[in-house]
Structure 1
Amino acid sequence: MASHPLSGPQKAAAVILALGDGHAAALFARMHEDEIRDLSIAMSSLGTIPAPVIEELCQEFGDELGQAGNLVGTFESTERLLLKTLPRDRVSQIMEEIRGPAGRTMWDKLGNVNEAVLANYLKNEYPQTVAVVLTKVRPDHAARVLSLLPEGFAMEVVMRMLRMETIQKEALEGVERTLKAEFMSNLARAQRRDAHEIMAEIFNNLDRQAEGRILSALEERNRDAAERIRGLMFTFEDLSRVDGAGLQTLLRAVEKDKLALALKGASEGLRELFMKNLTERAAKLLRDDIAGLGPVRLRDVDEAQAAIVALAKDMAAQGQLMLQDGREEEMLS
């Protein structure tokens, strides 16, 4: 091992790689985003590790696990462990977040909330409260939320963020209490959805080949469940149920190259519906673009259609258009 000194994260990365894809995926599913990032960086820097080193690592891992006896996790033991592998300033930041009133879990959950949902809630809060929240979530997520707030209100928030110094513990505790009592609890209740709805959303994000394969296998095991999921799925062809005004709003927002690629693989009926909601000149240009594409890969068409469906869903969440899924169609028939 001396000829191949490895850091703590590199040792963990090597052991995970040795365990294989199946076990690695299960482990990653239980890790925080930061942990996955650190391990990914470590993996990418490993290079070739000789088999004897891998054997020694696995032996070391097994020995330490076997000798652990009763395990007690404390702030102090966690800090000592982190200091062995991370710079002191990074450890201090992590420990502050763990010990802090809000904690990692709260802000991590908030960072995973859809930006339209979060913006809709925050627009009714005090600008100072919003400023605190946006300084605690990831910058990319904060940017998307900020862009969805009313312009005047957003500027009030920005000014408070610029003037903000160190956030006092009491202020963070107050914001956390408000979010937990008024927002996160309501969000949790609202998200108690049928398992078939959740699976339909997951299937919507599969490529066509994987979707067909998994749905076919599910039909053999549980035909009722497969049919229910298929009825709940919103596909590119379902955009035919969007009204004219909504479709025109969507078309103005779609990237033209994505639209041409998506329509290349669409049904003739849906393609014509899109054309009817464009100006005559825009429709002609789009037809020329589609014709000029030549042969295209099915995967590229699927990705373009999925991007447009995702955009339509985002716009629907913001109230810019109405989407109808299979359930509404069945109820109206």
Structure 2
Amino acid sequence: MSDEELTDIEKAAILMISLGEDDAAEVLKYLGPKQVQMIGEAMKELDNIAQSRVEGVVSDFMELVQDQTGIGINNDRYIRAMLNQALGEEKAKTLIDRILMTTNTSGLDTMRWMEPRQIAETIRYEHPQIQSVIIAYLEPDQAANVLSYFDDKVRLDIIMRVSSMDRVQPQALQELNEMLEGQSTSSAGQFRTMGGVKHTSDIMNLIESTIEAELMEGIKEVDEGLANQIQELMFVFDNLIDVDDRAIQVILREVASDVLILALKGADTALQEKIFRNMSKRAAELLRDDLEAKGPVRVSEVEDAQKEILSVARRLADDGEIMLGGGGEAMV
């Protein structure tokens, strides 16, 4: 595989490994949980990387830096246990400790570094309003995974509360943070915009398909108007047909070929052709051959692959690289 076939995440992983612990720590502490997780997972997959490839990645990085006056990194939240999963506990320990020494992560922020099952167990017996605030605070993909560990009735209650949420009073946030971390936080004095119909639709986009269908049916029974609002804002896999070609190309650079093959098994011909058109001729031919050779697959596998691609698209939209609108509108 040539350097051109590496994704940006794979290049970042190679760069982090080549930097060494001290310098990698300084870079990673400016990234958010989702970014660190993606880079960590890519680092885990790297094996026997040729020196020439490392040199190529570093060279590309240096050229990029020289063309800019600064690298636009948002000073967000600090790295946590995801590196344990990426590098193994022993290798990650020094790196994690060094980064976390200066963190001001609040009780709510720590939730974003936890595994979904762990979050679910932590809040399982809390008041539904506390559960809904935490779900609203999480990134949509993480929130979707957490909700999968609750039963139907609890999920519906939480999602209804999230959809009706607008702002959370600072005192409530401060008390919640104190409950989670046992110390006061800097939340007081600021209203926090959380939840709402848009956030709910983002969660519904990423939750497991059978759960999504059950939840939507439950919402319709309670409030049909709300269900319609959520559906209008949801961006589903078929909406990719309306996405700008350049945005499709950006998305494809971040998607593994095996995931794309699975996702396209369940796509209609028009969407498949759109994907083919936005690849090189050789890559499109290989993808067609792989699709034809792929035997029957479970519907759940196809849906999971499509959700993964939607997650990539949403991340790119959040990072400002593409724009995805409700009902499939998109521009770059």
Which has the higher Rg, Structure 1 or Structure 2? 1
Q: In proportion to residue count, which structure has more helix?
A: 1
Q: Structure 1 length normalisation: TM-score?
A: 0.45
Q: Structure 2 length normalisation: TM-score?
A: 0.45
